[in-house]
Amino acid sequence: GAVLHLRRGEARRQMPLEAYFLEYRKQDRLPGEFVEAVTVPASAPALRCYKLSKRFDQDISAVLGCFNVTVEDGQVTQARIAFGGMAGIPKRAFAAEAALLGRSLTEGLGAARAAMAEDFQPLSDMRASAAYRMEAARNMLTRYAHDLAGETVSVLEVRA
């Protein structure tokens, strides 16, 4: 995953991006320390990110989902699933990831969707209700499975 390079004066340290966010508005950052750089691994062929928001630009997402699943010989061997808007911080869906491992993506999909209730207790706010966020996140996972299978998914899509 991505690595943050933090700096405070001449002192530098690194950490995985997923360790940086501790809770809402709180990061693992010392006073005076700042993010100097971010190292992002080369994009994997199966990496997809989906954003759900009311506008295309300059809008905070109701839900943002990123998925990277490796399938070898029909079985999921690695899974990384993360969401924004489902908790106070961007967060991995570890239970959903575990539900996919060792199965075909199609077989594991239902279990992974159900396991997301273990990973998240979303909040309701002006952007979306908790129930809407959960259903949207589950549907993003389903969309990802269809996308990987090469199936046409009917959505309005904006690409950079």
Tens-place pLDDT, residues 36-55: 999 988 778 899 999 988 76
Kindly indicate the confidence band of residue 23, based on its pLDDT and cuts at 50, 70 and 90: confident
pLDDT at residue number 157: 62
State the pLDDT at residue 132: 95
Strand extents, DSSP E, 32-137: 34-39, 48-52, 63-72, 75-84, 91-92
Write the CATH number of the domain with boundaries 48-148: 3.30.390.50
Mean pLDDT of 73-94: 94
pLDDT at 42: 78
- The 10s digit of each residue's pLDDT in 91-129 is 999 999 999 999 999 999 999 999 999 999 999 988 899
Using CA atoms, how far residue 145 sits from 8, 54, 141, 152, 153, in Å, is 42, 24, 6, 11, 10
pLDDT at 158 over 60: no
Query: Quick one: pLDDT at residue 28?
Result: 93
The ranges assigned to domains in the chain are: 3-39, 48-148
Q: Is the dihedral of CA 125, 128, 134, 138 positive or negative?
A: negative
Band (152; pLDDT cuts 50, 70, 90): confident
- DSSP state, residue 135: H
> What is the spatial distance between Cα 87 and Cα 116, in angstroms, rounded to a whole number?
12
